[in-house]
Structure 1
Amino acid sequence: MAKPNKKGPVRTIDIFCANCSQPLFKYRKGGKGALVKCFVERIVKNHTRDNLHCPNCEQEFARSTLIRGTPALKFVGGKVRFK
């Protein structure tokens, strides 16, 4: 399988915690579908300490995984929202 494009899309989105609205990431997202996963190399700005827990309410919002051989975060359903 092909790896995701490192440069990736130009459009950036802000990802927030659904529980407390704390900003988590600024991310280069491709396409217009739902936010299911997040490739670590496409994160532009990181507001978290460990990429898996909200810095404000300590809720786990993602799980670390490998997708097509690239480190990624798979989001837990309903734990994040984006604009």
Structure 2
Amino acid sequence: MAFVFNIFNIKVNGVTSNGNLDFGNVVQSGHNAYSKIVGGNIAVGDFSPSSSVMVNGVFDPDFSDQGQLANPANEVFNQV
């Protein structure tokens, strides 16, 4: 069965440390990130367009600083 999510307005104040924002039926399985990006995003007011500047983007395929090589995350099926 298909799902339709009509999201008209959402305000997120901050997402850090490998965080994500999910809508609907989602399975979380092993968060891995192979790129590092430093930048910022700003939106002044509730209805203004957001603008962002990404200063540094680096592809990082080594596993030395990614803490999920020996112990991958378990899947999370029961969302509240």
Q: TM-score range by the shorter chain?
A: under 0.3
Rg bigger for which structure? 2
